[in-house]
Amino acid sequence: MYFLLALVIAGYLVYNSKSRYKFELFFISFYLLTGNINMLLTIKIPGFSLFEIQPLRFIFLMLCFLIVRKIMFSKERLNLTFDKKVPWFLVALISYIALIIISVLFHSSEMKIGDVLITIYDALVFLVLIIGLSLMRDKPSYDIIGKSVILGAVASAIVSLLQLFIDPYFLRIGDDRLAFGEFLRSNGIFKSEYYHSYFLIIAIAWVLIKFKNSWLKFFLLSLFILGILSTFHRMSWVILGMTLLIHFVFIKKVAFDKLIASALVCVTIALSFYIIYFDDFKNSALVKERLSNTIEGRKGYYAMVLENIDQEPLFGFGDYNNDVYYRTMLQITHDRDRATALTGGIHNGYLAAMFLYGIPAFVCFVLFVLQSVFYYARSFKDNLFFVIPFFLSIIYLMGNLTNSFLFLTYLSVLFAIHIGIGMGIKKIKEDLVP
């Protein structure tokens, strides 16, 4: 039923738009409206795991055709000169992808051929998403993506509140991690609570920039904030606070006394909630997880990378299936599934890039993320639309401090889409200048 509703909404958005890319946008809209639930649409061909028919792979093929069409048959030419028209973060990204390909090919004799191909494929999909969306250069198409994000966020926020207060397993397709007492962390229509909360923060960025109706804006912001709070994910709360602070202080320049009053109201509500459920919070999985974050936890993972990277400084270890990772992670976690990379990971995207692909790749990855932040921080002074990819860059920068979002994780896909939109809007603006 949810898929049918998403199909109808995507069709309505595309049909009533002036987009020049209705076919491509229909599937991108459907992908955004269905979150991680669209994983259920994956069709597996027995014996050919690399040829699964997945929604994202279909979008990848469509954008590949779009890029070829634009380059070969369009009057528009792709500018490949490294001047101000080509962002330096794109140069860093291409360098990073090149180093990844070199790394996995260097370790190909030790890795499964399927893992080598999937790693290269994931990196190329990320790049194709950016280039494909940027070459559209069509504001009505970008508006469809924004509307799809907001409507998808509305659905996910409502589902998350239903999961928190009525049925914890309502439309739950992924993790079932405890928050406190008998309450589970809400995932919405996503497989993990952080994908859900990051998606809602992205929707908040769209609402803040695009909506003029104050009452509708207030309703959507309240709904999305409640949806984020229902995840009980610390980093999401931090990023939410940073996003709102940046918007109201540096963009809207709201008066200081109003900010203080709003902050006091929020703190009062939070303290009241904490006092009511004090005992449940004290003995909650949330607190226990925080207290266990010692050398035996994530700090141990980080130390593992820094202490062993000197063995493979140039090209890293290629993947997690090696003796160094197995032995060290088994010693830290005492969990064979973690040691064999069936579950978990390093929980830091930057250190994961270093361990897997080497120090040069790590440097390029860091440069790519930082340069995207600075690029859009400078751009939104000229056009408020660039606040949206700027917030995406902040989310990606911060999110990779505690989790690994390398390429085709859901947050990475959203990041690539919005970077591509930002580049497309930039090109539209440049074309308007005589």
* Average confidence score pLDDT of the chain: 82
Short-list 164, 204, 169, CA closest to 186: 164
What is the pLDDT confidence band of residue 11, given thresholds at 50, 70 and 90? very high
pTM of the model: 0.86
pLDDT digits (tens, 9 = 90+) for 24-60: 999 999 999 998 888 877 666 555 554 556 788 889 9
Cβ contact 170:37 at 8 Å? no
Q: How far is CA 331 from CA 293, 310, 338, 346, 362, in A?
A: 16, 20, 10, 14, 25
- Looking at per-residue pLDDT, the higher value among 250 and 281 belongs to 250
Cβ contact 37:159 at 8 Å? no
pLDDT score, position 281: 46
Phi–psi pair at 97, nearest 5 degrees: -65, -40
Q: Which two tokens stand for residue 294?
A: 């010692």
pLDDT digits (tens, 9 = 90+) for 200-216: 999 999 999 888 778 88
| Burial bucket for residue 334 (CB in 10 Å: 0-12, 13-18, 19+) | exposed
Q: Which position has the token pair 């909360």?
A: 197
Taking the C-alpha atoms of residue 341 and residue 328, their distance in angstroms, rounded to an integer, is 12
Q: How far is CA 86 from CA 76, 93, 131, 138, 204, in A?
A: 16, 12, 11, 18, 28
Q: Which two tokens stand for residue 37?
A: 């639930």
**What's the chain's Rg over C-alpha atoms?**
22
pLDDT digits (tens, 9 = 90+) for 282-324: 454 444 454 444 444 567 788 888 888 999 999 999 888 888 8
Query: Long-range CB contacts (< 8 A, 24+ apart) of 332-339?
Result: 332/296, 332/297, 332/300, 332/301, 332/304, 333/296
Taking the C-alpha atoms of residue 332 and residue 300, their distance in angstroms, rounded to an integer, is 7
Q: Which two tokens stand for residue 397?
A: 């920068």
Cβ contact 151:34 at 8 Å? no
Instruction: Enter the DSSP assignment of 53.
Output: B
Helix (H, G, I), strand (E, B) or coil at 208: helix
Taking the C-alpha atoms of residue 358 and residue 314, their distance in angstroms, rounded to an integer, is 5
pLDDT digits (tens, 9 = 90+) for 121-176: 999 999 999 999 999 988 999 999 999 999 999 999 999 999 988 888 888 887 77
| Burial bucket for residue 343 (CB in 10 Å: 0-12, 13-18, 19+) | exposed
| Residue 223 reports pLDDT greater than 70 | yes
| Residue 385 reports pLDDT greater than 80 | yes
Instruction: Enter the DSSP assignment of 43.
Output: B
| Residue 21 reports pLDDT greater than 60 | yes
Instruction: Enter the DSSP assignment of 328.
Output: H
Q: How far is CA 324 from the centre of its chain?
A: 29
Residues near 81 by Cβ (< 8 Å), separated by ≥ 6? none
Q: How far is CA 281 from CA 186, 225, 274, 288, 357, in A?
A: 16, 20, 7, 10, 40
Q: Which two tokens stand for residue 84?
A: 């101000």
Q: Which of 15-19, 83-87, 248-252 has the lowest mean pLDDT?
A: 83-87
